[in-house]
Structure 1
Amino acid sequence: MFRLEPTDREVLENPREKIIVPGGDILFVEAPGLGIVGTCALQRTGPGAFELTKMGVCENARGMKAGEFLLEAVIRRAKELGATRLYLLTNHKCAAAIHLYEKLGFVHDAGIMADYGARYERCDVAMLYKGN
């Protein structure tokens, strides 16, 4: 859907250094008979601040609620890690994902866009977790 940007490459090629060591986490979701079908990372970006990033679910698992299960788990994990600010950056082309984020308590936020949106050329949607 998108070309990899330098920020993407840095995180994907160095997940331990960019996600785990600074205090983030990477979660996976498994579907019976399919194996691992999705993943998402929590990247610490400051004291109490985490970006929900690199979320994806395989096409063959869509419709199985794997994404919703994964997102709920990521939100719980962010709270366990002490998140006081959980946000995400995406693109309007990801309409199904945006709908899921909204369903689980994320709201569109101009402040998040101003603070973090420049990290990605493709970013035109920024959301902050407010809870349900």
Structure 2
Amino acid sequence: MSKFTITTYAPEHHSAFVELNTEWIQKHFVVEKMDLLQLNQAQESILNIGGEIFFILDQGKAIATCAMVPHGEKSYELAKMAVSTHYRGQGLGDMLIETAIAWARKMKAEEITLLSNTVLTPAITLYKKHGFVTTQLGPHPDYARCNIEMKLVL
């Protein structure tokens, strides 16, 4: 039995959502305008429009997170996925993606998209493992750091 539990957004986990994502973004890139909107106004920019935010907890502490942001009625973006540095390599990315995919199917989504950067080799490998395929390479209008868009057809 796993020592980790998965839950959805609750206000007490909001600071972890911000901290976990800010940590990885600042390690590799720069926090951008869209990041600030989604991180600081998660309720308005993700949840209130039909999205969800998942957390993996270790004894009540949020140690990993990802969001599902709606794009139309049948599409979601897997976004703001982060795992605490101390917990990497334990399969938490797999747990998050599997949870997000199951949730999207329950919502009757037809596809999940994501934006990333090809320098994040472990992340790209993880996405491919779960069936995501590259749909676009090159600059993206929403994020300066993004140079790859991937999609999973459900």
Global fold match (TM > 0.5): yes
Residue from 44, 56, 60 that aligns with 2:82: 56
- Deviation of 1:67 after TM superposition, in Å, equals 1.0
- TM-score, normalization by structure 2: 0.76
Match for 2:67: what amino acid? A
- Answer whether contact 2:54 2:67 (CA < 8 A) is retained: yes
Match of 2:48 in 1: 21
Match of 1:7 in 2: 34
- TM-score, normalization by structure 1: 0.88
> How far apart, in 2, do the equivalents of 1:30 and 1:106 lie?
26
- Deviation of 1:34 after TM superposition, in Å, equals 8.1
Q: What is the aligned residue count?
A: 127
> How far apart, in 1, do the equivalents of 2:93 and 2:153 lie?
19
SS at match of 2:101: helix
- In structure 1, runs of 5+ residues without a counterpart are none
- Answer whether contact 1:91 1:124 (CA < 8 A) is retained: yes
Residue from 40, 54, 61 that aligns with 1:35: 61
- Deviation of 1:29 after TM superposition, in Å, equals 1.0
> How far apart, in 2, do the equivalents of 1:28 and 1:101 lie?
18
Match for 1:55: what amino acid? M
Cα deviation digits, residues 14-51 of structure 1 (max 9, x gap): 001111111000001123x5832100000012121111
- In structure 2, runs of 5+ residues without a counterpart are 1-27
